[in-house]
Amino acid sequence: MKFEHPAGLNPIDRLTVVGRPVDRIDGPLKTTGTALYAHERHDVAPNQAYGVVVGAAIARGRVETIDVRAARAAPGVLAVVTTLDVPRLGRGRMNYAYLFGGAEIQHYHQAIAVVVAETFEQARAAAALIRADYTPEQGRFDLAAEAGHAPLHGDGDEPVHRVGDFETAFAAAPVTLDRTYTTPDQSHVMIEPHATVAVWDGDRLTLWTSNQMIAWSKKAVADILGMPAEKVRVVSPYVGGGFGGKLFVRADAVLAALGAKAAGRPVRVALTRPLVINNTTHRPATIQRIRIGAERDGRITAIAHESTSGNLPDGSPETAVAQTKLLYAGAARMIAMRLARLDLPEGNAMRAPGEAPGMMALEIAIDEMAEALGLDPVEFRIRNDTQVDPAHPGRPFSYRDLVGCLRLGAERFGWSARDPKPASVRDGRWLIGLGVAAGFRNNLLTKSSARVELDRHGVVTVSTDMTDIGTGSYTIIAQTAAEMLGVGLEKVVVRLGDSDFPASAGSGGQWGANNATAGVYAACVRLRDAVARKLGLNATDIDFADGEVMSGDRRVPLGEAAGEGLSAEDGIEYGSLAKDYQQSTFAGHFVEVAVDAHTGETRLRRMLAVCSAGRILNPKSARSQVIGAMTMGAGAALMEKLSVDTRRGFFVNHDLAGYEVPVHADIPHQEVIFLDEADPISSPMKAKGVGELGLCGVGAAIANAIYNATGVRVRDYPITLDTYLDRLPRPA
């Protein structure tokens, strides 16, 4: 189905199942431990052995020799494969680091060997016996040191994006700001590390793995291992979190496959936490300069956002400037990125790539600017709202109610009680502050397919390679099929995450919910047609409800209509609507913090997000996405940072004791409000993504609240107490 015109009325608009806060249908499996994750797939093949990955001990250079004699001789060892045993393997299309093969070491903990043994303990003990000799080379690891000579990089677009004459407008503006902000490297540290069970059957390979993008990964496995894609099957029905870290095939999958081939047995491999951090991908650090010029009435006349990040050769920049093209009005604009060459592990997508760190900077700058103008920061944002793409005024937003988010949020949060003068509210030892920030994340459209089958009991089975990474995909897909075919959820079976199923949008970029359900919608339309044809009815005047097909006075139970079974496959594809309209999602984030007047420790007291994100397919799972994202935003604002050893070239705090993420005690009452809306331009579902929106802006709202509490402006994340203790006045 080609989606080329804004959606009209369709069966989803009934909202009898879609739009309801139904529980996750996979919930009982997960709470009872019966949803099996990759490393638990004892059931898929007998006689599995265990592989343990050995990472490189240097950050850059060559591995000259790898002594595996002791490891091979260790108890239980079945096979050892080293990077010197194979030529350099291929890479995934969107990856920059090589996962295995050859002598070159591009980054710390790059895989140099896998040891396969009968038990995990044996494999781990043998892996510790491997001795490698290296010739190290001097690498570059310090973004700040490299930033000065980093070249421009447009990431596929023009390297410098200009509208009007920024320099002149900025020079002429009566009120200006010119500040630099930094965000650190961050790790996904999803609870389930990367893990794979690899099974060879002749020249066919099946990977039971943990992955967000099945179709991409099937192709990538074929490219990396140099085999035809038809011979590869990737299965990933449950994923214990990904956040972008599982968009790609990683060393667990590749080394499970190579280990299994060498051992002649199915092999399972999981990455350890240090390998998750230094062997896989991370969100790159940024240095962002923002300049804003405004008239005294608060209208922005000039805005520039420049960001520098680093990556391996061939790598791409963190697109931290993306939102600044679109979020606020302003006639003169300049946007640019620079990319430094670094020899750290590969920088790549992490939840809301670009916007998450970009909004952390931009929305402090907006707060600073509001203060300089003597305007309330909510009002300042409202004054600079735009309903069109500022670079192309003929291109409107498909739907945008940022103003509504900010207004309602201000009202619900009690914003008017905020004292704009910083450091004026005290509660015992605590300094209290309120902060606000806008949230912004684009809505991405990408094709997605599904198969829908109807059996003679009226049971509807949906199959698609879509993944559920803890987000609720199973449930919203079931809701979509139930709505389209007029059955209860108990009549719907959803099968996900298998490359044998039709290719979907996958989970990433908050595009999963809207596109994957739209693909299911398309397949259901086709199934409805098949039912109509079978019954000799006209597809345009039949209705599906209460488990029956209805036309005029005729009512046929669905199961009966199915006969021996009906099956339909289709997908959604998009026309030019994404070009004609800018599609984005919006939020107002409000936060109250308490800062210890003595020690500078920050504790969150309240958080509110009001979201404008199209139709909400399931308010319960959507809320859970947003509060999870707000929690991640709190981590980004207050504690998450990969600490780089700039001499040795690696992330030092490579476990969960050193890389701190929020715990329950850090997270206060969180409230989420979804504006009641539908966006007919996004898809027949009229929905958009929310999974990343909840993260974008939260960090800045916290930073702004800390400023309001203390009077200290911190422009470097995370805002740990040592970033500003020297500026925090001592309590009397």
Partner 1 sequence: MKPFTYERPTTPAAAAAAVTRRPDAKFIAGGTNLLDLMKLQIETPGHLVDVQDLRLDTIEATDDGGLRIGARVTNTALASDPRVRRDYGVLARAILAGASGQLRNKATTAGNLLQRTRCPYFYDTYQPCNKRQPGSGCAAIGGYGRPLAVIGGSDACIATHPSDMAVALRLLDARVETVTADGTTRAIPIADFHRLPGDTPHVETALARGELITAVTLPKPLGGTHVYRKVRDRASYAFALVSVAAVIRPDGTGRVALGGVAPKPWRAEAAEAELPSGAKAVADALLAGARPTADNAFKLPLVERTIAAAISDARE
Answer yes or no whether residue 427 interacts with partner 1 by CB under 8 A: no
From the CB of 57, what's the least distance to partner 1, in Å?
A: 4
Looking at the Cβ atoms of 237 and 600, the one nearer to partner 1 is: 600
Q: Which amino acid is at 373?
A: L
**Which C-beta is closer to partner 1: that of 556 or that of 721?**
721
Q: Which is nearer to partner 1, 125 or 542 (CB)?
A: 125
Dihedral of CA atoms 304, 309, 313, 314 in degrees, nearest 10, equals -50
Q: How does DSSP classify residue 285? A: P
Window of 222-230, 313-321, 613-621, 713-721 that interacts with partner 1 by CB under 8 A: 713-721
Q: Which of 102, 159, 274, 711 binds partner 1 (CB under 8 A)?
A: 274
Residue 467 or 602: the one with the smaller Cβ distance to partner 1 is 602
> Per CB under 8 A, does 65 bind partner 1?
no
Cβ atoms 380, 721 nearer than 8 A: no
Which residue in 2, 5, 131, 429 binds partner 1 (CB under 8 A)?
A: 429
Binders of partner 1 in range 594-623 (CB under 8 A): 596, 598-601, 603
Nearer to partner 1, 391 or 656 (CB): 656
Within positions 509 to 538, which residues make up the interface with partner 1, using CB under 8 A?
Answer: none
CA angle, residues 426, 428, 434, in degrees to nearest 5: 35
Residues paired with 283 in a beta bridge: 186
Write the CA distances from 685 to 444, 466, 488, 533, 676, integer angstroms: 14, 16, 19, 25, 14
CB of 652 to partner 1, least distance (A): 4
List binders of partner 1 among 201-260 (CB under 8 A).
none
| Cα 83 from chain centroid (whole Å) | 31
Residue 727 touching partner 1 (CB under 8 A): no
Q: Give residue for tokens 């490579």.
A: 654
Q: Is 310 helix (H, G, I), strand (E, B) or coil?
A: strand
Taking the complex as a whole, the smallest distance from the CB of residue 647 to partner 1 amounts, in Å, to 6
List the one residue from 36, 57, 147, 673 that touches partner 1 (CB under 8 A): 57
Minimum distance from residue 280 beta carbon to partner 1 (Å): 17
If one asks whether residue 726 binds partner 1 (CB under 8 A), the answer comes out as: yes
Render 188-205 in DSSP notation, one character per residue: ---SS--EEEEEEETTEE
Token code pair at residue 263: 């051992």
Question: Rounded to the nearest 5 degrees, what angle is found at the Cα of 297, between the Cα atoms of 296 and 301?
Answer: 75
Q: Which is nearer to partner 1, 94 or 652 (CB)?
A: 652
Interaction between residue 385 and partner 1 (CB under 8 A): no
Burial 74-86, CB ≥16 within 10 A → b, else e = bebbbbbbbbbee
161 vs 654, which CB is nearer to partner 1?
654
CB of 91 to partner 1, least distance (A): 25
Binding to partner 1 by residue 128, rule CB under 8 A?
yes
42 binds partner 1 (CB under 8 A): no
Q: Cα(327)–Cα(381) distance, rounded to whole angstroms? A: 9
Identify the three-state secondary structure at position 296: coil
Q: Which of 698, 513, 509, 495 is nearest to 588 (CA)?
A: 698
8 A C-beta contact, residue 686 and residue 521: no
Q: Which of 43, 203, 230, 722 binds partner 1 (CB under 8 A)?
A: 722
Question: Which residue number, 344 or 496, has a Cβ lying nearer to partner 1?
Answer: 344
Q: How far is the CB of 292 from partner 1 (least distance, A)?
A: 31
Options 347-355, 417-425, 592-600, 607-615: segment touching partner 1 (CB under 8 A) = 592-600
Strand 175-183 with 286-294, pairing: antiparallel
Query: Looking at beta carbons only, is 296 or 426 nearer to partner 1?
Result: 426
Q: Are 416 and 410 in contact (CB under 8 A)?
A: yes
Residue placing its CB nearer to partner 1 in the complex, 510 or 602: 602
Q: What are phi and psi of 12, to 5 degrees?
A: -65, -30
> Residues, the chain, total?
732
Q: How far is the CB of 149 from partner 1 (least distance, A)?
A: 24
508: nearest Cα among 332, 285, 354: 354
Burial 93-126 (b: 16+ CB within 10 A, else e): eebbbbbbbebebbbbbbbbbbbbbbebebbebb
Judged by beta carbon, residue 5 or residue 598, the one nearer partner 1 is: 598
Q: Which is nearer to partner 1, 74 or 525 (CB)?
A: 74
Quick check: 70 binds partner 1 (CB under 8 A)? no
Q: Please give the Cα distance from 629 to 351 (Å, whole number).
A: 9
Q: Output the smallest distance, CB 660 to partner 1, in A.
A: 5
Question: Which residue stretch of 254-262, 331-339, 683-691, 716-724 sits at the interface with partner 1 (rule: CB under 8 A)?
Answer: 716-724
Question: What single-letter amino acid sits at 313?
Answer: P
Contact call for residues 263 and 338 (beta carbons, < 8 A): no
Contact positions with partner 1 (CB under 8 A) in 161-200: none
The position carrying tokens 């199923």 is 501
Q: Enter the DSSP assignment of 270.
A: E
Please spell the DSSP secondary structure of 616-644, one letter per residue.
-S-HHHHHHHHHHHHHHHHHHHHT--PPE
b (16+ CB within 10 A) / e for 46-59: eebbbbbbbbbebb
Distance CA(592)–CA(418), nearest Å, equals 10
146 is catalytic: no
Among 124, 162, 289, 605, binds partner 1 (CB under 8 A): 124
Choose, from 318, 355, 592, 692, the residue flagged as catalytic.
Answer: 692
Inter-residue contact 434 to 708 (CB < 8 Å): yes
Shortest CB 658 distance to partner 1, Å? 5
Closest distance of CB 121 from partner 1, Å: 6
Question: What minimum distance in Å lies between the beta carbon of 669 and partner 1?
Answer: 14
Residue 716 found at the interface with partner 1 (CB under 8 A) = no
Q: Is residue 76 close enough to count as binding partner 1 by CB under 8 A?
A: no
Q: How far is the CB of 362 from partner 1 (least distance, A)?
A: 25
Site for partner 1 in 625-684 (CB under 8 A): 638-639, 643-645, 647-648, 652-655, 657-658, 660, 662-666
The count of residues interacting with partner 1 (CB under 8 A) is 41
Q: Would you give the DSSP letter of residue 582?
A: B
Give the nearer residue to partner 1 in terms of CB position, either 420 or 729. 729
d(CA 81, CA 258): 7
Minimum Å gap between C-beta 99 and partner 1 is: 19
* 403: enclosing H helix or E strand: helix 402-413
Distance CA 440, CA 588 (A): 9
Assess 730 for contact with partner 1 (CB under 8 A).
Answer: yes
Question: Which pair of tokens denotes residue 477?
Answer: 């897909």
Measure the CA–CA gap between 307 and 320, rounded to whole angstroms: 6
Joined together, the tokens standing for residue 502 give 């039709």
Q: What's the rounded Cα separation, in Å, for the pair 690 and 679? A: 13
- Positions marked catalytic: 692
Q: Where does this chain bind partner 1 (CB under 8 A)?
A: 57, 75, 121, 124-125, 128, 274, 429, 596, 598-601, 603, 638-639, 643-645, 647-648, 652-655, 657-658, 660, 662-666, 718, 720-722, 725-726, 730-731
